Chains A and B, each alone.
Chain A
Amino acid sequence: MTGSLDKLRDASLTKAIMAEIRRITTQPWNIMEICGGQTHAIMQYGLDQLLPKEITLIHGPGCPVCVTSLEAIEQALQIAARPDVIFTTFGDMLRVPGNQADLFTARSQGADVRVVYSPLDSLKFARENPEKQVVFFAIGFETTAPTIASTILSAEKAGIENFSILPANVLVPPAMRAILSNPVNRVQGFLAAGHVCAVMGYHEYPPIAEQYRIPIVATGFEPVDLAAGILMTVQQLESGQHEVTNAYPRFVTREGNQTAQRMIAQVFEPVDRQWRGIGAIPLSGLGLRADYAAFNALNRFELSQTALRESPLCIAGQVLSGVAKPHDCPAFAKDCSPLHPLGAPMVSSEGACAAYYRYHRISE
């Protein structure tokens, strides 16, 4: 693994691709990398410093923690606080602020909140603690959905009744449409998220490329992958094309992982969903189908409605839709930091604000 990784991080190859980008670029272009993992890789390796000044990278909404709605976090806090519940979640969610508290706070006040690497771990807790209700916070994009679906299918098969999920998964293509439909949109080309494409393929993208006349390139996460994705996007932009192409062929095929897709389709159906900072996007979430409604934590627990209050300073919505950069925010690195985040993009390792905070460069 490390051997092939070294090749994908080869500085001279990356620089050679960057030189080709510089050679063919004749005018300014705005390209959005959708996935927060790509944003972090760009910042970590300083790839934006190697691009010609005409190319602006805009950071997309592809951070699962960042876009999870405030309402879902408030629901999570209420469920986690129940003494009969073991609340399980991916680690990143612990620090995301709700109205006032985060899951770390809930844990310090006695809630049984556990970090898991996979929902299958939650199912294990459910088996081991039959007297408890074990709830998994189902967040993420098309990447986490297959494992969650498979966990629900396992729970059903094994007759495990004390397991449920708080459904909050979201989908990438509706978000791309929402960004492109925004009247102040600046995005002229997309680097599609490689991990999502590995699951879903890229057969969903041609109608988007056609309708909005925008190139979409499935792109990976290593420096050479990212440089290649940017090059393929700029080539199209410079020649006036708007195709869907694949710069990540070692993991991505047009049709994707069909077993995973079937599992998602069996358990979930598209529903309207709130994206934090962005708003409601039609059919942009995954809800449980009627056959699996029993696994919906919202049907199990009586929850009270809470008023939802976002920080008035935070401009996460503009950052997530690519209209503003993190340092355009008046609170950036002042009132808002990874230790005291006002908005979710400052929390997650995939959030654009956290990436800027961690990797920001101030020229000396």
Chain B
Amino acid sequence: MIQPEMPIMEGPNCPLPISERGHIVIGHGSGGQMTHDLVRDVFQKRLANTILNTANDAAAIPATPPGKRLVVSTDAHIVSPLFFAGGDIGRLAVCGTVNDVAMLGAEPRYLTATFILEEGFSIEELERIVDSFAEACREAGVELVAADTKVTEKGKSDKLFISTTGFGWVESALQIGGEQAKPGDAVIISGAVGNHGIAVAEARGNLGFSSQVCSDTAPLNHMVKALLDADLDVHVLRDPTRGGLATTLVEIVRQSQISIELDEENIPIDKPVRKTCELLGLDPLYLANEGKLIVILPAEQAPAALRVLRGQKYGEGACVIGRVYESSRNQLWLKTAFGTTRVLEMLAGEMLPRIC
């Protein structure tokens, strides 16, 4: 009811809501029309599949086939900045969880995801990230079957957090795990280590120069499947993410109660990573990876495993880097080029650059 004496206002005025926005606003988390539109335009459009399309409160997924077990893994992904050379949080959120499921020798099938959005976050960036998320799902061969979005007030989160849960199936008879390494086994890495750690440090503006290093973020499940299809007696699969190769191998020596000796000269490290580490006083053995696979299996099967890995997209640089042996000390040893040895421990806290 407009009073005739009211002044005429210029420009758009309430109560008509602005429907086109470039940024996340609190209304996107209301559960109402705005939420609905965001889910439809940003997520469903990119991630459509028959299960997700049912749009019910929960997803019904096919039963685990006979002779297989269900494998589940969950992971929250927080990375700053959201985009870095070689990847972004979307690709990372898929690959991180897919790889965790694959490390039991399982075939990842389904994902669920929660996207926590900060008020003010750019929708264009969100779309790019969901594109990348969808592309990684296609590459890994997994389907997003359930998802949720939440919006926090500005300052209560940081742009975008993504939490994903992965489901996969593994042959019931398969016993792969960090506790399965046996004396006489060979330790294989699928390629050069340290790239993700350097790429993210550079994206944070922490290097002060361009290292030319790209993150290795990648799904490893096809490589794992190829290894298992080759009938290899794989004992351990692990992706050395945070804490790097050294920390992951220390976990394995403790779980399996054995020792491992690494040959420093055989550990593949790309030149730009090595140079950057030299300059900053970082140790590449402790830098994160997001697309590398540690394989531990009987030494006599190592040549066959290398052949399989090197035939895969993400395994061209695979090589044997060490051996497992019996020992009560359960330590990770590094044999240097000088023939001397030293113990590698877990990364203590945050890796800090040296002073001079």
Q: Hey, what's the 0/1 contact readout for A101-120 against B, CB within 8 Å counting as 1?
A: 00000000000000101100
Tell me if A45 and B281 are in contact (CB < 8 A).
Answer: no
Task: Say which residue of B336, B348, B353 sits within 8 Å of A337 (CB atoms).
Answer: B348
A-B contacts, CB under 8 A, total: 92
Task: Say which residue of A37, A46, A94, A115 sits within 8 Å of B342 (CB atoms).
Answer: A46
Answer whether residue A49 sits at the interface, using C-beta atoms and an 8 A cutoff: yes
Answer whether residue A334 sits at the interface, using C-beta atoms and an 8 A cutoff: no
Q: Which of A45-96 contact B (CB under 8 A)?
A: 45-47, 49-50, 64-65, 90-92, 94-95
Tell me if B281 and A349 are in contact (CB < 8 A).
Answer: yes
The stretch among A7-15, A181-189, A308-316 that forms the contact with chain B is: A7-15
The stretch among B47-55, B93-101, B247-255, B271-279 that forms the contact with chain A is: B271-279
Answer whether residue B6 sits at the interface, using C-beta atoms and an 8 A cutoff: no
Residues of B within 8 A of A223 (CB): 338
Tell me if B349 and A95 are in contact (CB < 8 A).
Answer: yes
CA distance A231 to B265 in the complex (A): 26
Min distance, Cβ A43 to any Cβ of chain B, angstroms:
7
CA distance A288 to B354 in the complex (A): 25
Tell me if B354 and A195 are in contact (CB < 8 A).
Answer: no
Tell me if A140 and B355 are in contact (CB < 8 A).
Answer: yes
Residues of A within 8 A of B148 (CB): none
Q: A2-B274, A45-B338 are in contact. Are A195 and B356 (CB under 8 A)?
A: yes
Task: Say which residue of B259, B329, B340, B355 sits within 8 Å of A65 (CB atoms).
Answer: B355
CA distance A274 to B275 in the complex (A): 36
Residue of B nearest to A338 (CB): B348
Determine the main DSSP class of B at the interface with A: loop
Residues of A within 8 A of B337 (CB): 9, 11, 45
Residue of A nearest to B347 (CB): A338
Tell me if A43 and B355 are in contact (CB < 8 A).
Answer: no
Task: Say which residue of B271, B340, B354 sits within 8 Å of A37 (CB atoms).
Answer: B354
Answer whether residue B208 sits at the interface, using C-beta atoms and an 8 A cutoff: yes
Residues of A within 8 A of B352 (CB): 91-92, 94-95, 115, 349
Answer whether residue B41 sits at the interface, using C-beta atoms and an 8 A cutoff: no
CA distance A362 to B275 in the complex (A): 31
Tell me if B278 and A350 are in contact (CB < 8 A).
Answer: no
Tell me if A45 and B336 are in contact (CB < 8 A).
Answer: yes
Residue of B nearest to A341 (CB): B348
Tell me if A11 and B338 are in contact (CB < 8 A).
Answer: yes
Q: Hey, what's the 0/1 contact readout for A340-364 against B, CB within 8 Å counting as 1?
A: 0000000011100000011111101
Tell me if B355 and A144 are in contact (CB < 8 A).
Answer: yes
Tell me if A2 and B348 are in contact (CB < 8 A).
Answer: no
Residues of A within 8 A of B343 (CB): 359-362
Q: Which of B318-356 contact A (CB under 8 A)?
A: 327, 329, 331, 336-345, 348-350, 352-356
CA distance A49 to B339 in the complex (A): 9
Min distance, Cβ A208 to any Cβ of chain B, angstroms:
22
Residues of B within 8 A of A2 (CB): 271, 274-275
Task: Say which residue of B206, B327, B338 sits within 8 Å of A14 (CB atoms).
Answer: B338
Answer whether residue A339 sits at the interface, using C-beta atoms and an 8 A cutoff: yes
Residues of B within 8 A of A284 (CB): none
Tell me if B356 and A144 are in contact (CB < 8 A).
Answer: yes
CA distance A349 to B351 in the complex (A): 9
Q: A1-B275, A11-B339, A223-B338 are in contact. Are A350 and B355 (CB under 8 A)?
A: yes
Tell me if B329 and A43 are in contact (CB < 8 A).
Answer: no
CA distance A240 to B327 in the complex (A): 47
CA distance A49 to B335 in the complex (A): 12
CA distance A349 to B259 in the complex (A): 25
Tell me if B340 and A49 are in contact (CB < 8 A).
Answer: yes
Residues of B within 8 A of A118 (CB): 208
Residue of B nearest to A1 (CB): B275
Residues of B within 8 A of A350 (CB): 354-355
Q: Hey, what's the 0/1 contact readout for A13-51 against B, CB within 8 Å counting as 1?
A: 011000000000000000000000100000111110110
Residues of A within 8 A of B345 (CB): 357-358
Answer whether residue A190 sits at the interface, using C-beta atoms and an 8 A cutoff: no
Min distance, Cβ A237 to any Cβ of chain B, angstroms:
24
Most buried by B among A49, A90, A91, A338: A91
Answer whether residue A303 sits at the interface, using C-beta atoms and an 8 A cutoff: no
Residue of B nearest to A43 (CB): B342
Residue of A nearest to B348 (CB): A338
Min distance, Cβ B322 to any Cβ of chain A, angstroms:
16
Answer whether residue A321 sits at the interface, using C-beta atoms and an 8 A cutoff: no
Tell me if A338 and B329 are in contact (CB < 8 A).
Answer: no
Q: Hey, what's the 0/1 contact readout for B281-314 against A, CB within 8 Å counting as 1?
A: 1000000000000000000000000000000000
Tell me if A364 and B340 are in contact (CB < 8 A).
Answer: no
**10 A-B pairs in the complex with CB atoms less than 8 angstroms apart:** A46-B336, A46-B338, A47-B338, A50-B338, A92-B355, A140-B355, A144-B355, A337-B348, A348-B354, A360-B342
15 other contacts beyond A11-B339, A140-B355, with CB at 8 A cut-off?
A15-B338, A15-B339, A37-B354, A45-B340, A47-B338, A47-B340, A49-B340, A64-B356, A115-B352, A118-B208, A143-B356, A144-B355, A348-B354, A350-B355, A360-B342
